[in-house]
Structure 1
Amino acid sequence: MFHRTWRRMAIATAGLLTLSLLGACSEDAAEGKNLDGNRVGAMSDYGSGTQFKATEPLSFSILYNNHPNYPLKDDWLFWSELTKRTNVKLEPVAVPLSDYEQKRSLLIGAGDAPLIIPKTYHPSENAFVSSGAILPVSDYLDLMPNLKDKIAKWNLQPEFDTLRQSDGKFYLLPGLHEKPWAEYSIAMRTDILQQLNLPIPKTWDELYTVLKAMKARYPDTYPYSDRWSKPNPGGELLSIVGAAHGLRTGWSWNPATWDPTANKFVYTGATEQYKQVIVYLNKLVAEKLLDPESFTQTDEQARQKLANGKSFVIGSNAQTLVNDYRPDLAKTLPNAKLTKIPMLVGPAGEINPASRLENGIMISKKARDSKNFVAMMQFIDWLYYSEAGEEFAKWGVEGTTFTKDAAGKYTLTPDVDMIGLNPKGTKHLQKDFGFGNGVFAYGGKLDLVQSFFSPEEMEFQNVMNARKPLPVDPPAPLTDEEREQVSLWETPLKDHVVQNTLKFILGQRPLTEWDAYLGELKAKNADQYIGVVNKAYERFKKDNG
């Protein structure tokens, strides 16, 4: 998903090394010679497409991101069926979604982290590399045949190598998509568009025209009132507007942007494109087309405004459209029609900003010393990277939660609901069974990823799939010393960007002070920060051609 890479601070530490990912097998094999005492429970004949089943009962601890929409239950079918199929029992260490990153850092720092640490968005793992707390998983790819198979078949090496550190290794096992998957856009009241005799907008400029018409007809509204402002103010909104300008901002914030014209990295928050994002949103707020509370309100407040006819446009994905907005409107405005539209186009052209890499898994360094280490890596490979494991995590148990026809089409069993596919179902795939769980179910072949999609969502995806992906930035892997240095500048810089972005957008600081703002970024070491990144880029280019 676009937002999965969007929400986290990013350093341009990509390393597209001349050493092929798959060509690193000699290194893996050498590492494997030292694993003779770590194979208890492992299968001797495990390979791509093989059902993993430990040769004796095993248990592994896992950090569990406890989502409020489907709180953890011990009696989920997911747990018992997983053990039945793999002979592995997972021991979840549950952490609330709201505290996940902070608790994860504390557990790793204290040496108390579980063996398996999912829901890690690159480059969050960077913070744990120099301490040696997490495993260089690239050393152990020979233990993961399904993962290696997907990298080869889907030509994922360029994306994968963006995870590498300056030592040439990577420390995160990402979820993989066969094709980019753009998930987030905006939803709008198409019945209001029909009333105003206006077409669905395709660009951000056309949206401005639509919002003006809505405001003229309904002067007491803010036509666009957004959600997802916590903990990152305007996170999703800045992401999708930024993407239209060729930037990773908001949820997808990346402080370093590659400038192909200048052939160097520049600081994102100081670019002309970023200024244009701010200018556009400032215009919407100044003309009362965008609710200024979009950057501070709770999701519930944003939903209520939409449900009460106080707004007509809101950030959305397929689930929120079906699970949140339409049921809300059905209670208050039953004749309203709400549609998620393709991502709006801006100066960057018709692009799909989604990545083929998902959030992923870190492995605690202490796992390497376990007698069950090889079995654990085989288990992870099966659950997260085999087609059987991906199907199980997403859909559950055939005949109990789903059926599949001869053409491979999935259907939920009649009493099971998910994303409104069986609205009369009394049981929910996530809440009652534990499947479709974001800790375990993501990525995979295109038909599996799209298997929950309604015909309406498929129309959205077909439009997005026809667009060109954003190019992968050139590599600039930082050394431990460089990363330690930039970490001192990173947070103060980002905080200053976020604070002043909001001030500019909300009119609390005039845009005539843009040059002064640029000077403030320089004073906070923006130039030094980008200098380090460009030095790393030049070093890599020199060393690798």
Structure 2
Amino acid sequence: MRELSRRQAIIGLGAFTLVLAGCGEDEAPKKAAETSANKAGAMANYAAGQQFKATEPVSFDVLYNNHPFYPLKDDWLFWQELTKRTNVTLKPVAVPLSDYEKKRGLLVGSGQAPLIIPKTYHPQEEAFVASGAILPISDYVDLMPNFKDKVAKWQMEPDLDTLRVADGRYYLLPGLHEEVWVDYTLAVRTDILEKLNLEVPTTWEELYTVLKAMKQEYPDLYPMTDRWGVPTPGGNLLKLVAQAYGTKGGWEYQHATWDAAAGKFAYTGAMPQYKQMLEYLNKLVKEKLLDPESFTQQDEQAKQKFNSGKSFVISTNAQTLINDYRPTLSKLVPKAKIAKIPVPMGPIGDYKIGTRLENGVMISKKALENKNFVAMMQFVDWLWYSDAGEEFAKWGVEGTTFSKDASGNYKIADDVDFVGLNPDASKHLQKDFGFSNGVFAYGGTTKLLESTFSEEELEFQKVMNARKAWPLEPPHPFSDEEREQATLWETPLKDYVTQQTLKFILGERDLSEWDAYVKELEGKNMTSYMNLVNGAYERFKKDHG
């Protein structure tokens, strides 16, 4: 289990020491030299809360994750208004969403990546650290007053510590949320619950009871089918169930999980809690309550089953509830009602598990050679971290796509729709204007985050926000040599855990063979890997806490 271990003691002295460790006496003059010659277009006295506008027209290329729901358009108001406000023209290098991670890796590895590389989820950036392909961005945050202001105001140094590698630096600029935010959960057909006189399930065991009752009423159907199984089998479902037992799975899977009772990290895929997750999901599959295709089917197949009334429970978030389910379901099953339920709880109790850090931006090392480097960092700071930039990226242009009342509450324009706020509108905030784009719009105050939420979503957040936040894990950054060795072990370990996880869940391998499976992981260097992890943890604790 994960725990905030000695973190507060680290914040003041430790985090400061880390910065010094990453930027020694010989580094400061080097940094100054790197930036002094590359200030073309930069503002001389740029500060937090100030509108950034380059002193001359500049342009930067940006890796662009092209989402099929709102495919890239050159004539979006987003591009035009961004240039008008900042004097910066962004040149997107578009990559399909389905191929984004692979293409990003190839571009960064070959040195051909754009200067600005968004939509990177920690710890994906660590794969590019040893080669020197990306900047140790923590060395340059002095150029980013809005970023620094939010980190200080929201006391986020412990969160940033989780990104640091052994040299004390971090290489990813994460999106910053004021509070932990939970979005992904399950959608349930509430009309079926009403028909069967069932309450909305609040725990995973209650969900099991609900699915059994549904199965009894509809014996020829799987009550639950799921999506987001490609490319990560059971991506959201495994994540949620694993969290309920105090471990990690699916999208959130990492090799090491903090075991507070033992005071060290355990190998996630061999934890008793991981086995409990498998037992639960195996029970659902075995009793034909969960569609076994859930872990490998394409999203369209899952949506088709759910929207046609062939299943009643599926993974969701706020946008997919509005965009993917309700419109089609209302046509095919007119009397259907659907709700996004609070994340079911498990043995660990009423915890809200998440992070205040979002996916983030990497900066290519070659940006240092660009004469507009300082201007670029100021621009990144304004767009991704200033209140004005975050509002612009999310809502667009006041008077065109939205308005605000005297209390600062947002209202979408009458002819514009977004997440069902204006379902009969002729235009769409993402598709027609380019705002609320996942490449640029994430992070910010809770008020901004919740500004597009429906009353239904606000109720969901109210329930989730009443839960306790799960503590952060202590850092365990690898040295370059350790990272190189760990990388050799991680892929075969991850592949084997994924393969065997599916076999256990689907009943292709009996859970009585759990001990044999753990021995097989030991044969794939699990113990040696965990010695690296715990050695790195002990070293960090000794040096910085």
TM bin (shorter chain): over 0.9
Q: 1:240 is paired with a residue of what secondary structure? A: helix
Amino acid corresponding to residue 443 of structure 1 in structure 2: G
Alignment of 1:71 with 2:71, yes or no, is yes
CA-CA distance at 1:20 after TM superposition: 2.9
CA-CA distance at 1:297 after TM superposition: 1.2
Distance (whole Å) between structure 2 residues aligned to residue 302 and residue 390 of structure 1? 34
Amino acid corresponding to residue 20 of structure 1 in structure 2: A
Distance (whole Å) between structure 2 residues aligned to residue 172 and residue 16 of structure 1? 20
Alignment of 1:20 with 2:15, yes or no, is yes
Distance (whole Å) between structure 2 residues aligned to residue 61 and residue 521 of structure 1? 43
* Paired residues of 1:16 and 1:162 also in contact (CA < 8 A): no
Q: TM-score, normalised by structure 2?
A: 0.95
Distance (whole Å) between structure 2 residues aligned to residue 340 and residue 16 of structure 1? 38
2:388 alignment partner in structure 1: 388
* Paired residues of 1:70 and 1:431 also in contact (CA < 8 A): yes
2:317 alignment partner in structure 1: 317
2:294 alignment partner in structure 1: 294
Amino acid corresponding to residue 103 of structure 1 in structure 2: K
1:285 alignment partner in structure 2: 285
Q: 1:233 is paired with a residue of what secondary structure? A: coil
Distance (whole Å) between structure 2 residues aligned to residue 544 and residue 384 of structure 1? 30
Distance (whole Å) between structure 2 residues aligned to residue 396 and residue 235 of structure 1? 32
CA-CA distance at 1:24 after TM superposition: 4.5
Distance (whole Å) between structure 2 residues aligned to residue 343 and residue 372 of structure 1? 46
2:305 alignment partner in structure 1: 305
2:92 alignment partner in structure 1: 92
1:10 alignment partner in structure 2: none
CA-CA distance at 1:19 after TM superposition: 3.7
Distance (whole Å) between structure 1 residues aligned to residue 531 and residue 420 of structure 2? 50
* Paired residues of 2:395 and 2:436 also in contact (CA < 8 A): yes
* Paired residues of 1:119 and 1:439 also in contact (CA < 8 A): yes
CA deviation string 1:81-125 (max 9, x = no partner) = 000000000011111111111111111111111000000111111
Distance (whole Å) between structure 2 residues aligned to residue 380 and residue 60 of structure 1? 11
Distance (whole Å) between structure 1 residues aligned to residue 225 and residue 16 of structure 2? 45
Q: 1:112 is paired with a residue of what secondary structure? A: coil
Amino acid corresponding to residue 323 of structure 2 in structure 1: N
Distance (whole Å) between structure 2 residues aligned to residue 543 and residue 350 of structure 1? 34
Amino acid corresponding to residue 96 of structure 1 in structure 2: P
Consecutive unaligned residues of structure 1, counting only runs of 5 or more, are: 1-14
The alignment of Structure 1 onto Structure 2 pairs a total of residues equal to 531
Distance (whole Å) between structure 2 residues aligned to residue 23 and residue 491 of structure 1? 29
Amino acid corresponding to residue 230 of structure 1 in structure 2: V
* Paired residues of 1:188 and 1:313 also in contact (CA < 8 A): yes
CA-CA distance at 1:170 after TM superposition: 0.8
1:4 alignment partner in structure 2: none
Consecutive unaligned residues of structure 2, counting only runs of 5 or more, are: 1-8
2:32 alignment partner in structure 1: 33
Q: 2:37 is paired with a residue of what secondary structure? A: helix
CA-CA distance at 1:32 after TM superposition: 5.3
Q: 1:371 is paired with a residue of what secondary structure? A: coil
* Paired residues of 2:143 and 2:378 also in contact (CA < 8 A): yes
Percent of aligned pairs sharing the same letter: 66
Distance (whole Å) between structure 2 residues aligned to residue 160 and residue 455 of structure 1? 32
Distance (whole Å) between structure 1 residues aligned to residue 453 and residue 71 of structure 2? 23
CA-CA distance at 1:213 after TM superposition: 0.6
CA deviation string 1:172-225 (max 9, x = no partner) = 100000011101000101111111111111000011111111111111111011
Q: 1:355 is paired with a residue of what secondary structure? A: coil
* Paired residues of 2:53 and 2:85 also in contact (CA < 8 A): yes
Alignment of 1:336 with 2:320, yes or no, is no
* Paired residues of 1:16 and 1:164 also in contact (CA < 8 A): no
CA deviation string 1:278-308 (max 9, x = no partner) = 0000000000101101111111111111122
Alignment of 1:493-532 (within 5 A): 493-532=493-532
Amino acid corresponding to residue 32 of structure 2 in structure 1: K
CA-CA distance at 1:29 after TM superposition: 6.6
Q: TM-score, normalised by structure 1?
A: 0.95
CA-CA distance at 1:487 after TM superposition: 0.4
CA deviation string 1:249-272 (max 9, x = no partner) = 100111101111111111000000
Distance (whole Å) between structure 2 residues aligned to residue 181 and residue 38 of structure 1? 38
* Paired residues of 1:29 and 1:142 also in contact (CA < 8 A): no
Distance (whole Å) between structure 2 residues aligned to residue 98 and residue 325 of structure 1? 21
Amino acid corresponding to residue 150 of structure 1 in structure 2: K
2:3 alignment partner in structure 1: none
Distance (whole Å) between structure 2 residues aligned to residue 324 and residue 114 of structure 1? 32
1:157 alignment partner in structure 2: 157
Distance (whole Å) between structure 2 residues aligned to residue 482 and residue 472 of structure 1? 23
Pair 418,31 (structure 1): closer, same or farther in 2 beyond 3 Å: farther
1:436 alignment partner in structure 2: 436
CA-CA distance at 1:126 after TM superposition: 0.5
* Paired residues of 1:201 and 1:344 also in contact (CA < 8 A): yes
CA-CA distance at 1:33 after TM superposition: 2.9
CA deviation string 1:362-394 (max 9, x = no partner) = 101110111111000000000000000000000
Distance (whole Å) between structure 2 residues aligned to residue 264 and residue 359 of structure 1? 27
Q: 2:179 is paired with a residue of what secondary structure? A: coil
CA-CA distance at 1:520 after TM superposition: 0.6
Alignment of 1:262-281 (within 5 A): 262-281=262-281
